[in-house]
Amino acid sequence: AQTVTQSQPEMSVQEAETVTLSCTYDTSESDYYLFWYKQPPSRQMILVIRQEAYKQQNATENRFSVNFQKAAKSFSLKISDSQLGDAAMYFCAYRRSGSRLTFGEGTQLTVNP
Amino acid sequence: DTGVSQNPRHKITKRGQNVTFRCDPISEHNRLYWYRQTLGQGPEFLTYFQNEAQLEKSRLLSDRFSAERPKGSFSTLEIQRTEQGDSAMYLCACMMGSSYNEQFFGPGTRLTVL
C-alpha cells in the first residue's frame, strides 16, 4: 500500500523568508503523481503544485517549487518570499494513475510578521 | 471558491441517528470522491464514482455508510446508526478524467455525533 509521511507537524517562518516542507512516500509503482495541497483555516483545500513522476524537472509555480527525488522517494515543497497568506495546513499527496489521493498527516505552517 | 458545494456545512446529531450529506460537483467533472478528515490529520479516502458508477470503496466504508451518485451529477453520503467515532469532516472532491488533473475540493461537512 502507498503511504505518505510528513515528518514536520509544525513549521514557522518569518515573512519574506524561505521555508521547506518535507514529504516522503512509499510506492512500488513507477507511474504516479505527487501534489501539495494547502488548507487554510475553515477554508477549502486548494492545489499548490503538482509533479508527474516521469518528469525529472522539478515543478515550479511562482513562489512555490518542489525538490523531487524519485530514487529517494522524497518530494519537498519550498516556499520563497513567504507571505502572511501562506499560513495554512499543507498536505503532501500521492496518486496512481486514475486513482484516489493518499495524503500525509500535514504540516501546519505559521508565518510570523 | 472551487465551485464544489457541500450541504450542510455542519451537522450535529445524536448517536444512533441517520445523517445524509450532499455534494454538488463542478458540472462537467465526471469523477467524484469522498474523503473523511479527522482533526489534525490528512483526509482519508472513502469512495469514488466515475459518472454514476461507484468504482472503489475503502475498507473504512463500513456497511453503515452508503454513497450514491444518481445520473452522474450530485452525490449523497449517508451514515446510518451514527457512532461517536463518525465525528469528522467529510470532504467531497471532483475531477475531470485525466489523471494529471487536480481534484477540486468542497468546503466539507463537519459532523458531530453526541
Mean pLDDT, range A56-66, rounded to an integer: 95
Which residue in B has a C-alpha nearest to residue A52's C-alpha? B100
- Look at the block and give the residue holding cell 518570499: A81
Of the listed ranges A20-24, A28-32, A33-37, B77-81, the least confidently predicted one is A28-32
- Nearest CA to A42 out of A100, A89, A6 is that of A89
pLDDT digits (tens, 9 = 90+) for A78-92: 999 999 999 999 999
Predicted confidence at residue B99, as pLDDT, reads 57
Which grid cell sits at B84? Answer: 461517536
Contacts of A63 (CB under 8 A, 6+ apart): A79, A80, A81, A82, A83
* Cα-Cα end-to-end distance for chain A: 41
Mark yes or no for CB contact A100/B91 under 8 Å. no
Cα–chain-centroid distance for residue B53?
Answer: 15
pLDDT tens digit sequence for B2-36: 889 999 999 999 999 999 999 999 988 889 999 99
Does residue B43 contact residue B35 with C-beta atoms inside 8 Å?
Answer: yes
DSSP assignments along A26-94, one per residue: E-S-SSEEEEEEEE-TTS--EEEEEEETT--SPPEETTEEEEEETTTTEEEEEE-S--GGG-EEEEEEE
B-chain residues within 8 Å CB-CB of A97?
99
Looking at the complex, report in whole angstroms how far the Cα of residue B88 sits from the nearest Cα belonging to chain A. 14
